[in-house]
Amino acid sequence: MRGREDEWTGLMRSAMAGDDAAYHRLLKAVTPVLRAAARRGLARAGQPPDQAEDIVQEILLAVHLKRHTWDSEAPFAPWLFAIARNKLIDALRRRGRRVFVNIDDFAETLPGEAPQETASAGEVAAQLGTLPQRQRDVLQSIAVEAASIKDTAAKFSMSEGAVRVALHRGLAALTAKLRDH
């Protein structure tokens, strides 16, 4: 545990110093841990575990957009887990309400049948569709098609700076939509 968390702190320090690969590696390393925590949280709240991926993605977005609140002198894990806990509680509260609404909805039309579960990890994808065209194109290109910023810029005849801005704004808008929807 200790070793793993020290490694995370080291990776995050490199990431903040501008090492994109270290940042990618860190995010990959923490994702399974966040996923397990999200599943545990859902299970404890009596909710289906297939929504864990939505929560994981929400946590990752928050980690990304709030990483300037991490103090590089402090260990990374407590900071990460504080954000994860916060997002998990938020998500459970929201889903708690929605599942409740679902049950009421279905009770009238389909008596005796269990309410259908919502699709897994679909929330970011669904909110992606509500973004402005340009941000959506850029996100689609970089995330889904794995294009570099440079290639994306060439593809849409944008400057690399404009791609970076659209990417960041897209991620920030996604986060805001997930929080407020």
> Near another protein by CB under 8 A, which window of 3-11, 37-45, 80-88, 103-111?
80-88
Measured CA to CA, the distance from residue 51 to residue 103 in angstroms comes to 17
Token pair belonging to 131: 């973004």
In the list 1, 108, 146, 159, the residue contacting another protein (rule: CB under 8 A) is: 146
Is residue 154 within 8 Å of residue 137, measured between CB atoms?
A: no
Q: Is 36 in the site for another protein (CB under 8 A)?
A: no
Q: How far is the CB of 115 from another protein (least distance, A)?
A: 25
Q: Is 150 in the site for another protein (CB under 8 A)?
A: no
Inter-CA distances, 121 with 10, 66, 96, 110, 165, Å:
30, 22, 17, 26, 25
DSSP structure class, residue 144: I
Q: Is 130 in the site for another protein (CB under 8 A)?
A: no
Q: How far is the CB of 174 from another protein (least distance, A)?
A: 9
Q: Which residues contact 29 (CB under 8 A, 6 or more apart)?
A: 4, 7, 8, 11
List residues binding another protein (CB under 8 A): 15, 18-21, 23-24, 27-28, 31, 53, 56-57, 60-62, 64-66, 68-71, 74, 78-79, 81-83, 85-86, 90, 121, 124-125, 128, 139, 142-144, 146, 148-149, 164, 167-168, 171, 179
